[in-house]
Structure 1
Amino acid sequence: MIQSLLNNWHLKLLSLLFATVLWLFIVGEQKLERGFSVPLELKNLPESLMVTSEVPSHIDVRIIGPRTLLVNQDPAQLSISIDLKGLKEGVSTFRRLEDRINLPGGMRVSRLFPSYVDIKLEEMVERELQPKVVFEGTLPEGLEVERVVLGEELVKVSGARSEVTRLKEVRTEPILLTDKHETFSVQAPLVYSGKFSRLVNGSLEVLVVIRAKLATERLEN
């Protein structure tokens, strides 16, 4: 029996190698489905506009393709790109996102979520508002705030028109008066929570001039 196995051993070894290569080829070409979280990129946003809708940062994508390709696919090489060039104010709907994925040959998208994206664009505007200084606590007995001097008479807000035009004022964080005996200066942070707008400067220099109450005022009190 051993002799029969040794007969034409080189042909048998060649057949075994051929069968192994064929098996590897068949396995490698088997279809596989794999999920990816693909980043969504917005390109060429017009300078005078901004996005004011909730746009997902990633799209969940299921891809089908040869096992050898999918197993070695680098997720960082996948992206979905939406070109905003030439768009005007308003809502634009982008469908068939699968056609916007940079897939290698031999692969296709089986499903993705979300399957479309609504993008709302608004004009960017800038507006100047009167800041309102907010105090907390009280000065020691016999003292009062004579006047408040602002480093800037107006503060600038920049952002989506619909949000900026609704603003009425911008307030400072509370400035503590307790235990203040003389004039002082503080860089007061501004309180602002715009979703699609921002303060050009986040703080305001405030000079608080303190004086002793006049004798007549003390008598009245």
Structure 2
Amino acid sequence: MVDGLTQNWVLKLLSLVFALILWFFVMGEQKLEVGYAVPLELKNVPAGMMVANDVPSLVDLRISGPRTILMNVKPSDLSLAIDLRDLQPGVTSFKRLEERLNLPSAIKVTRLSPAVVDVRLERRKEKAVPVRVVFSGALAEGYKVTSLKTDPERIMVEGAESELKDVNEVTTEPIDVSEVRENFTLMAPLDYRGKFTALKSDRAVEVEVQVAPLVPSKPASNKDKTGK
């Protein structure tokens, strides 16, 4: 029995090695499909311009290919970059983004979403607009605001030209004046939520408020009533 096991052991060993090599080859050539969320980067925005539309920061990518090759693809190696150099204001559509991935030829892109990326470039502008103070609550009964000042009086807003043209003022966050009877000065944060515009520098203004008692109106005399 021992002789039977030891006979032709070299051939049996070679057969086992060949079977293992064949198994690894077959497994390695099996095709798989995997998905990644790939970062999208916009590069070289021209001076004096800005992107004025929503561009996805990630794209959905699915690729297929031999297992052995896919196993060597690292998520950190996958990225998409769109070069905006020398573009003029307006909308530019970028297609065939898969060609920017630099993948091995054996790997096929089965899905890329979005397949087209639109980028709107606009000129970056600035505009000075007045500050409007917003109050909440009510002064103490019998009092009124007699003077209202802000420092600065106007605030600089910057951003996309199309949005900036509709910006006519910047408001403060509500200032509570409930039961106030005296003059006061405070720093009021500005409340501005532009989509493609923003405050250039100031984030708060000094607000000076003066209040005074209401002057009761004098009752009309009998002479005033009769006109005599």
TM-score by length of 2: 0.87
1:81 equivalent in structure 2: 81
Aligned partners of 1:10, 1:132: CA distance in 2, in Å? Answer: 94
**Residue 8 to residue 149, structure 1, CA distance change in 2 (3 Å):** same
Letter in 2 for 1:69: I
Unaligned runs of 5+ residues in structure 2 are 220-228
Letter in 2 for 1:66: P
2:98 equivalent in structure 1: 98
Aligned partners of 1:88, 1:218: CA distance in 2, in Å? Answer: 64
Shift of the alpha carbon at 1:142? 4.2
Aligned partners of 1:109, 1:169: CA distance in 2, in Å? Answer: 49
Aligned partners of 1:65, 1:48: CA distance in 2, in Å? Answer: 44
Aligned partners of 2:69, 2:208: CA distance in 1, in Å? Answer: 67
Aligned partners of 2:49, 2:2: CA distance in 1, in Å? Answer: 83
1:207 equivalent in structure 2: 208
Letter in 1 for 2:56: P
Aligned partners of 1:109, 1:220: CA distance in 2, in Å? Answer: 86
TM-score by length of 1: 0.89
Instruction: Work out whether residues 79 and 102 of structure 1, in 8 Å CA contact, stay in contact via their aligned partners in 2.
Output: no
Q: Give matches, 1:39-58, under 5 Å.
A: 39-58=39-58
Structure 1 range deviating more: 9-18 or 153-162? 9-18
Instruction: Work out whether residues 189 and 204 of structure 2, in 8 Å CA contact, stay in contact via their aligned partners in 1.
Output: yes
Aligned partners of 1:72, 1:60: CA distance in 2, in Å? Answer: 19
1:168 equivalent in structure 2: 168
Superposition misfits of 4+ residues, deviation over 4 angstroms: none
**Residue 38 to residue 220, structure 1, CA distance change in 2 (3 Å):** farther
2:30 equivalent in structure 1: 30
Instruction: Work out whether residues 158 and 199 of structure 2, in 8 Å CA contact, stay in contact via their aligned partners in 1.
Output: yes
Quote the sequence identity (%): 47
**Residue 180 to residue 103, structure 1, CA distance change in 2 (3 Å):** same
2:223 equivalent in structure 1: none
